[in-house]
Structure 1
Amino acid sequence: MSSKLNSISFKLGLLFSGVFITLLLLLGLILYGVFTNMFVDYIKQDLLAKGQNHARILAEDFNQSAINHVVEMEKGVMTDVLVTDNKQQFVAFSKKPDEEMVDHLITKSLSNGTILEEDWKQHSYLISVTPIGDHLGYVYMYYPASILREIVFVMNLLLIVATIGILLLAFGLIGILSRRLTRPLLYMKEATSKMAMGMYKQNIPVNGNDEVAQLGLSIKNLGDQLQYFEESRSDFLAAVSHELRTPLTYLKGYSDILNKDMIKDRKEQKEYLTIINKEAHRLSILINDLFEMSKLQTGQFVLKKELTNINHVIRKATKNLNPVANEKGIGLILNLNEELPEISIDPQRMEQVIYNLIENAIKYTSQGTITIKSKLIRDFIVLQISDTGIGIPSEDLPKIWERFYRVDQSRTRKTGGSGLGLYVVKQIIDAHNGNIQVKSKENEGSVFTIYLEKEENNEKDTNS
């Protein structure tokens, strides 16, 4: 018997029971007070509102017809109305005034409506008064306090019955739960201790689908998330450094060529300087994207749209990537429809999209070609970037648009991908109300297809 009294189940049950009863009593008192106060306040505000409404009607036309109309409005409802002149003489009423009504007639003039009586426990009515116009008279509104007392009595009765029922049910449940809680709690304690030491992934052996089991599952999921965040944190610097390093590599390479005077003529020098300028601008955009990441996620991405020939954007992006493709022996093939209409887009952002997709294709293609197409399909301008690279596993296709997601860590180390490029691509296309799709097969290549609605874009530009 002594061991049972000292058991954690008994102590836990006793503690839960004491806390539960205390909280239940406090909650009952709070609910009683809140409900009563809110209900009384509602009645007072309703009385004032009705009085003000009636006073406004009578102020516009203080005659017998308007007075009769006001009285008729209060027949068949809980409230009553009494209309007096400026000398407190009865003009009309929905219920014959009793002694308490007469006792509460005001003795001085008022400029605004007010509550004359709000003590519903000691008096027969809650009473409000509102002046009519410029000292024409007064509108008195009455709400029977007996109705309010009956409502509060019923509420108290329901609270008592509910409390007794909840207590009986709670004692039984607490006894059962206290015993069931103690077993998995020990497992959870051990798991959380390991998580505190950095071993985030834990398997907690709990069964069922009750609150304790859900708590165990939540701790396990928390550990998985902490592990993911820890890995993401370590990958973040590497990912960002790569995204910044790519344009810096171009800047360093072409500036070295210029610095070492390894150019043939003025035209080639100008071409290299143009590429350096473009890469410096791209570097600025990449840095800005890191600060605008939250805007990308919430869709608050500001575009600077203008009517643009999409083929011109494709050629600009391709020109900057030609040296990289040539270095790997990969051919960039342009198959562009030269009769495409201009559409309203942000040319810099769309160049970033095409740049990222072609750069991705170059990274994951060791030999073959990359084809960039533009065509018109009904009301859509369609861009297509296809490669003969290593492809993407089908199970990874839904995840490639996530921020910093990389398909395979091993091949990422070889190619230097960060997972930021496709995320930015998806957000920019979405901001243009477009759509991007991908088809891929491992060891055969990938095809990224962008759909931009021709008519919608033109209308938006016209309206702006």
Structure 2
Amino acid sequence: MKWYSIFRSVSFKIGLVFSVVFIALLMIFGFTMYGMFTNIVVDYSKQELVARGNNHASILENNFDKATIDHVILMEKTVPTEVLITDSAGKIIGSSTVPDKEMLEHLDPASDLKEGKIVVSDWRKHKYLISVSPIGNGEGYLYMYYPSSILRDIVFTMNVLIISASIGIFLLAFGLIGFLSRRLTKPLLQMEEATMKMSQGKYRQNILYKGDDEIARLGSSIQTLGEQLQYYEDSRNQFLSAVSHEIRTPLTYIKGYSDVLKKGLVKDPEEQLQYLDIINREAQRITFMINDLFEMSKLQVGQFELNKERADINTIIERVFESLKPAAQKKGLEISIELGKNLPNLFIDVHRMEQVFYNLIENGIKYSNEGSVAITSFLRKEFIVIEVRDTGLGIPEQDLPRIWERFYRVDQSRTRKTGGTGLGLYVVKQIIEAHDGDIQVESMEKKGSIFTIYLKPIGDSHGKNIGS
């Protein structure tokens, strides 16, 4: 992987955002801790310095003599602080060290000083923190000096500790952020790889995902999409194979019988008519197959339009019945119609409704080896109901929900025997639903099937409540 692609990756961007936010929070926390710690240390030192000065001043207040002064000075010899004692006029009468210039600059207390206070507090600029405490009632003054270098050393040490701890925390956090960002983006990288393979035609991908969050649901959706694409790819291949077979068979008949007639090999007029009938039937078979393909293509691109007109449904059924009756009789099937009288007219596309009944009745004939095919029409409540019954192979229960899918065929083995592209029922359902109707199916294996269509007559204003 090239370096620039690493910088453009999602995991790097997530890690960078988290790192920037973490560093900003860490700096804010560090500065806050630095300020708080510094203020605590300095305030404590000031309070301690004033308290120590007041304590010495109270001792001198009771015995303001040389012995007591020497005792106070001796107490400050073993600690970092220094003490300086003056009389009321500001003359130095005792000191724990030789006063330097900065000590001497602050020997001018206010005459009305009642208690100890800090007179120099800026430890960053001055050599000492300095406090002054009055001795008695203006008899003298006691100055305490705390070296600022001690505070600076403490603050420096604290800074080193904070910086060291921050670096350690940052490295630990950066590693944790990197781990978490990779963990968060790993499913996304898997999905990217899966989609790349899907774009190459490898649709069925196994995407590992856990939980029920947005990423897991995205992974599940991509995997489901791949499975559906694979299903449609397999269906498409089977469909193309079936179409080529379905078209090749009638074309073979048409070519063979037309060649026989063209060469004059058949002299008997009755036999000639029989051959012409076969050619016509096979040509019609191709026509209906192409119509199915044409309707499917229009459905897919949203160009499916209906040319509706007032029509009698029984007339359409009779026309299709007469067209398919010879095919049923040839297989030894009993085919019958029982049409309701005085049924209201429908506002329908006659051509497409013929296609519906042709597909349903032809299916009944195709999948019935014995028995009968029956078509009935009648009025039930506010609907005109048309039933197409057969005593054929039937449809397995697990396949019933899918028979309306395009390219779906119940059994490949029986499809090879009977033919079919898997488009007929798909087109039927689309046409019926385009007429605001409904189609339902009941079927049992080896018992047969019943396809039931519900359509509303012209002028029906009732709400849709389809079913028995």
Asked if the contact 2:376/2:388 (under 8 Å) is kept, the reply is: yes
Query: Is 1:393 paired with 2:396?
Result: yes
Query: Is 1:364 paired with 2:387?
Result: no
- CA RMSD of the aligned region, Å? 4.3
Correspondence for 1:232: 235
Correspondence for 2:448: 445
Q: Size of the alignment, in residue pairs? A: 300
Correspondence for 1:305: 308
Structure 1: give runs of 5+ residues left out of the alignment. 1-7, 23-169, 459-464
Tell me the secondary structure at the aligned position of residue 323 of structure 2: helix
CA deviation digits over 1:245-289, x for unaligned, max 9? 676578568868976355539xx94x9868866865674464355
Query: Is 1:422 paired with 2:425?
Result: yes
Shift of 1:190: 7.9
Normalising by structure 1, what TM-score? 0.53
For 1:302 and 1:193, how far apart are their aligned partners in 2? Answer: 38
Task: From 14, 21, 37, give the equivalent of 1:16.
Answer: 14
Shift of 1:384: 1.0
For 2:256 and 2:374, how far apart are their aligned partners in 1? Answer: 26
Structure 2: give runs of 5+ residues left out of the alignment. 1-5, 21-172, 462-468
Normalising by structure 2, what TM-score? 0.52
- What letter matches 2:307 in structure 1? K
Cα distance change of structure 1 residues 213 and 317 upon mapping to structure 2, 3 Å threshold: same
Tell me the secondary structure at the aligned position of residue 447 of structure 1: strand
Asked if the contact 2:345/2:458 (under 8 Å) is kept, the reply is: no
Tell me the secondary structure at the aligned position of residue 437 of structure 1: strand
Shift of 1:353: 1.0
Superposition pairs of residues 248-259 of structure 1, within 5 angstroms: none
Q: How high is the sequence identity, in percent, across the aligned residues?
A: 59
CA deviation digits over 1:105-134, x for unaligned, max 9? xxxxxxxxxxxxxxxxxxxxxxxxxxxxxx
- What letter matches 1:18 in structure 2? L
Asked if the contact 1:389/1:444 (under 8 Å) is kept, the reply is: yes
Tell me the secondary structure at the aligned position of residue 458 of structure 2: helix
Q: Using the TM superposition, name which of 354-363 and 255-264 deviates more.
A: 255-264
Cα distance change of structure 1 residues 443 and 179 upon mapping to structure 2, 3 Å threshold: same
Correspondence for 2:351: 348
Asked if the contact 1:367/1:388 (under 8 Å) is kept, the reply is: yes
Query: Is 1:381 paired with 2:384?
Result: yes
Query: Is 1:203 paired with 2:201?
Result: no
- What letter matches 2:355 in structure 1? Q
Query: Is 1:220 paired with 2:226?
Result: no
Superposition pairs of residues 28-427 of structure 1, within 5 angstroms: 177-181=180-184, 200-241=203-244, 244=247, 260=266, 263-264=269-270, 269=273, 280=283, 283-284=286-287, 286-297=289-300, 300-427=303-430
Task: From 432, 435, 458, give the equivalent of 2:435.
Answer: 432
Asked if the contact 1:304/1:345 (under 8 Å) is kept, the reply is: yes
Shift of 1:452: 2.2
For 1:258 and 1:341, how far apart are their aligned partners in 2? Answer: 47
Asked if the contact 1:239/1:404 (under 8 Å) is kept, the reply is: no
Shift of 1:360: 0.9
For 1:280 and 1:318, how far apart are their aligned partners in 2? Answer: 18
Cα distance change of structure 1 residues 428 and 258 upon mapping to structure 2, 3 Å threshold: farther
For 1:450 and 1:14, how far apart are their aligned partners in 2? Answer: 59
- What letter matches 2:343 in structure 1? L
For 1:202 and 1:316, how far apart are their aligned partners in 2? Answer: 50
For 1:299 and 1:365, how far apart are their aligned partners in 2? Answer: 35
- What letter matches 2:270 in structure 1? K
Query: Is 1:455 paired with 2:453?
Result: no
Shift of 1:315: 2.6
Asked if the contact 1:391/1:444 (under 8 Å) is kept, the reply is: yes
CA deviation digits over 1:218-248, x for unaligned, max 9? 4433432342233133123124335646765
- What letter matches 1:333 in structure 2? S
Cα distance change of structure 1 residues 15 and 382 upon mapping to structure 2, 3 Å threshold: closer
Cα distance change of structure 1 residues 340 and 397 upon mapping to structure 2, 3 Å threshold: same
Tell me the secondary structure at the aligned position of residue 448 of structure 1: strand
For 2:348 and 2:375, how far apart are their aligned partners in 1? Answer: 19
Shift of 1:392: 1.4
CA deviation digits over 1:166-209, x for unaligned, max 9? xxxx9999556324247657866886787688654343333223
Cα distance change of structure 1 residues 312 and 294 upon mapping to structure 2, 3 Å threshold: same
- What letter matches 1:264 in structure 2? E
